[in-house]
Amino acid sequence: MDFSHPVSKVPLKIDAAGVVRVGETRVTLDTVIGAFKNGATSEEIVFQFPVLELSDVYAIIGFYLKNQAGVERYLTQQKAGAESIRQKIEAKFPPAGIRQRLLQRRSAHQSPAS
């Protein structure tokens, strides 16, 4: 067996927004690692996200296990950023009473039945 070929690289890419994605997919590192931390096997992750390759998921989990501190820092930053965005959205569009507001809007836009 010849092991002289280069070792495969981890299929992670950073998009324009700074989000780490799996290869050319829209699946994020956060998603794969979150599923893994929740007990999903590599096979289950691929079943949930068929666009992923099993070998890529294994490579990403291996990368995570070898670089756990750095990946956890990234995940913490992503979570903080998402929380900040959520707070801004909720400040602009308060979730309290949303069902009632939507029902009122629906009633206002419905035409009378003939």
2 within domain boundaries: no
Domain-located, residue 76: yes
Q: What is the spatial distance between Cα 99 and Cα 90, in angstroms, rounded to a whole number?
A: 15
Total tally of structural domains belonging to the chain: 1
Q: What is the pTM of this model?
A: 0.75
d(C-alpha 56, C-alpha 46), whole Å: 9
Tens of pLDDT, residue by residue over 74-94, are: 999 999 999 999 999 989 888
Domain housing 72: 12-109
Token pair recorded at residue 22: 């799996």
Q: Is residue 96 part of a domain?
A: yes
In a domain, 90, yes or no: yes
CATH number of the domain bearing residue 92:
1.10.10.10
Residue 5 in domain: no
Summarised one tens digit per residue, pLDDT across range 39-70 is 999 999 999 999 999 999 999 999 999 999 99
